[in-house]
């Protein structure tokens, strides 16, 4: 699998902001994508997160002191000037922005900022009053004027319980910016992708429902992968025990009918629909208004088919449509028939009878069939990796 950040040398500067702990997630994500990360911290930052944490995440010593106690260590800031592909200061305090804008070099991180010769991204995080302070804004516009990238902070709840502009952005936005600065091609840049995920619940009465064992993990992995490839992602999710995918717009759809309505409402503006939800095939003929009592001794449940979302959406939507099929065994003929019947462009086939794969697990093993007649097997792997490989196959067909 390709990962644009593999072996990129990235220096992360961490400053004394309450958001310093969020740099841990950023560093972990960069490492997970294969980047070689070194962390430099200000003294103030060490009040918020210990250097040991970053040393463990990066497996490199953390740079804090401008004047090393051991003279044999050389002059760290000079050696650093060309040793990286990119520097990201996250979180960037008002203090470091001011220093960088005025060539102040009174500690290791600010000295590095004065000497380093690679693209620099600042990710400010601070109290909303500190952000709108004219001195901070002046520093930001000076730095931007010199070609430094400054990510605007998000608006929302701040650590002090105030609401305003100053929040540290989502890790995903920072990663996207980094990829853009490193000219890493984004497979789905500028594309809009809709993913459905999870099971549906078909009510029997106000307290019971019919559902299935889908965990939603495959659909959530596809949403995360599409986001990582630069797409704007909408994730329509059935009821699952997973955290929302950061950076994706989440839309709930509990029953097959709700999911159908959500898909029809959203599909018009999408470049690709990935229908990974395990939508129930049947629903109770008539959901009861009141809880069915044990004493009524019910013996049968009458069922009717749920709406076929893929067939319904195909009538309205002529972009790339990806369907999923769950089967036993590895005979792909039934899936090929289903692909034609549903008029999908791709059918991703996964099995429910392969130990440790598919439903409720973190692993999968799939085949991607196309309406054009191609057939590709993706060997067992974790679902995020499978998701990326599926998108790499399909993205080639999306008109640019």
Ligand X SMILES: Cc1cc2nc3c(=O)[nH]c(=O)nc-3n(C[C@H](O)[C@H](O)[C@H](O)COP(=O)(O)O)c2cc1C
**Cβ–Cβ under 8 Å, residues 280 and 212:** yes
Rg (CA), the chain: 25
CB of 106 to ligand X, least distance (A): 9
Specify the residue, 48 or 220, whose C-beta has the smaller distance to ligand X.
48
Total residue length of the chain: 400
List the catalytic residue out of 114, 133, 212, 364: 212
CB of 71 to ligand X, least distance (A): 24
Specify the residue, 123 or 309, whose C-beta has the smaller distance to ligand X.
123
Run of H or E residues at 336: helix 333-342
Of 276, 242, 236, nearest in space to 254 by CA: 236
Q: How far apart are CA 294 and CA 261, in angstroms?
A: 34
CB of 139 to ligand X, least distance (A): 11
Specify the residue, 132 or 213, whose C-beta has the smaller distance to ligand X.
132
Task: For residue 336, give every residue at least 6 positions away whose Cβ sits within 8 Å of its Cβ, in sequence order, or none.
Answer: 347, 369
**Cβ–Cβ under 8 Å, residues 230 and 318:** no
**Cβ–Cβ under 8 Å, residues 210 and 280:** yes
Specify the residue, 90 or 391, whose C-beta has the smaller distance to ligand X.
90
Q: How far apart are CA 264 and CA 72, in angstroms?
A: 66
Task: For residue 53, give every residue at least 6 positions away whose Cβ sits within 8 Å of its Cβ, in sequence order, or none.
Answer: 24
Of 26, 90, 22, nearest in space to 58 by CA: 26
Query: Where does residue 336 fall: left (phi above 0), alpha (psi -120 to 50 degrees), or beta otherwise?
Result: alpha
Of 344, 398, 349, nearest in space to 372 by CA: 344
Q: How far apart are CA 282 and CA 210, in angstroms?
A: 8
Helix (DSSP H) and strand (DSSP E) numbers for the chain: 13, 19
Specify the residue, 95 or 345, whose C-beta has the smaller distance to ligand X.
95
Q: How far apart are CA 385 and CA 364, in angstroms?
A: 9
CB of 109 to ligand X, least distance (A): 7
Q: How far apart are CA 352 and CA 368, in angstroms?
A: 16
Residues in contact with ligand X by CB under 6 A are 15-19, 42, 44-45, 93-96, 125-126, 130
Angle at which helices 309-316 and 333-342 pack, to 10 degrees?
A: 40
Specify the residue, 27 or 262, whose C-beta has the smaller distance to ligand X.
27
Active site residue 127: no
Specify the residue, 128 or 359, whose C-beta has the smaller distance to ligand X.
128
Which residues are known to be catalytic?
A: 212
């Amino acid at each position: 699998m390709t990962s644009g950040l593999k072996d990129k040398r990235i220096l992360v500067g961490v400053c004394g902001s309450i958001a310093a702990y969020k740099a841990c997630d950023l560093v972990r994500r960069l490492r997970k994508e294969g980047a070689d990360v070194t962390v430099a911290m200000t003294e103030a930052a060490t009040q918020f997160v210990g250097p040991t944490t970053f040393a463990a995440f990066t497996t490199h010593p953390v740079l804090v002191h401008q004047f090393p106690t051991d003279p044999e260590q050389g002059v760290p800031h000079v050696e650093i000037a060309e040793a990286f592909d990119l520097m990201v200061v996250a979180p960037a305090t008002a203090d470091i922005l001011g220093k960088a804008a005025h060539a102040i070099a009174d500690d290791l991180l600010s000295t590095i900022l004065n000497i380093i010769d690679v693209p620099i991204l600042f990710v400010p995080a601070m109290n909303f009053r500190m952000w709108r302070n004219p001195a901070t804004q002046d520093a930001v516009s000076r730095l931007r004027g010199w070609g430094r990238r400054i990510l605007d902070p998000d608006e929302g709840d701040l650590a002090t319980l105030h609401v305003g502009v100053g929040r540290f952005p989502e890790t995903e936005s920072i990663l996207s910016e980094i990829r853009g600065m490193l000219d890493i091609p984004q497979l789905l840049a500028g594309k809009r992708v809709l993913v459905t995920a999870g099971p549906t619940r078909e009510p029997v009465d106000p307290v019971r429902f019919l559902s299935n064992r889908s965990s939603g993990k495959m659909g959530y992995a596809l949403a995360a992968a599409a986001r990582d490839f630069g797409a704007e992602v909408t994730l329509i999710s059935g009821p699952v025990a997973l955290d929302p995918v950061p950076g994706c717009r989440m839309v709930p759809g509990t029953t097959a009918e709700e999911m159908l309505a959500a898909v029809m409402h959203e599909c018009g503006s999408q470049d690709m629909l990935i229908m990974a939800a395990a939508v129930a095939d049947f629903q109770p003929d008539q959901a009861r208004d009141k809880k069915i009592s044990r004493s009524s001794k019910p013996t049968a449940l009458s069922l009717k088919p749920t709406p076929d979302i893929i067939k319904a959406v195909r009538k309205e939507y002529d972009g790339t449509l990806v369907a999923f099929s769950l089967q036993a065994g590895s005979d792909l003929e039934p899936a090929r028939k289903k692909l034609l019947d549903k008029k999908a462009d791709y059918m991703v086939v996964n099995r429910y009878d392969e130990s440790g794969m598919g439903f409720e697990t973190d692993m999968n093993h799939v085949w991607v069939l196309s309406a054009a007649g191609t057939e590709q097997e993706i060997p067992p792997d974790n679902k995020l990796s499978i998701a990326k490989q599926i998108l790499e196959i399909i993205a080639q067909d999306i008109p640019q």
